C-alpha cells in the first residue's frame, strides 16, 4: 500500500474516533441530565 493511502486511512480513522468520542460525551451528559 502506498504511503498516501495509509495517511488518508489514518486521517479518516482519527476523524471517526473524534466523532465517536464527541457522541459518547454528548450521550453521557444527556444521561447525567436525565438521571
Q: What is the pLDDT of residues 6-21, one digit of tens each?
A: 999 999 999 999 999 9
Q: How many CA atoms lie within 13 A of 25 on its CB side?
A: 6
Instruction: Name the average pLDDT for the chain.
Output: 93
DSSP class per residue in the chain: --HHHHHHHHHHHHHHHHHHHHHHHHHHHHHHHH-
Q: How many CA atoms lie within 13 A of 35 on its CB side?
A: 6
Cell reading at 1 = 500500500
What is the pTM (predicted TM-score) of this model? 0.62
Amino acid at each position: 500500500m502506498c504511503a498516501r493511502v495509509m495517511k488518508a486511512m489514518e486521517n479518516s480513522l482519527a476523524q471517526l474516533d473524534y466523532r465517536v468520542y464527541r457522541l459518547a460525551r454528548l450521550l453521557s451528559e444527556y444521561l447525567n441530565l436525565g438521571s
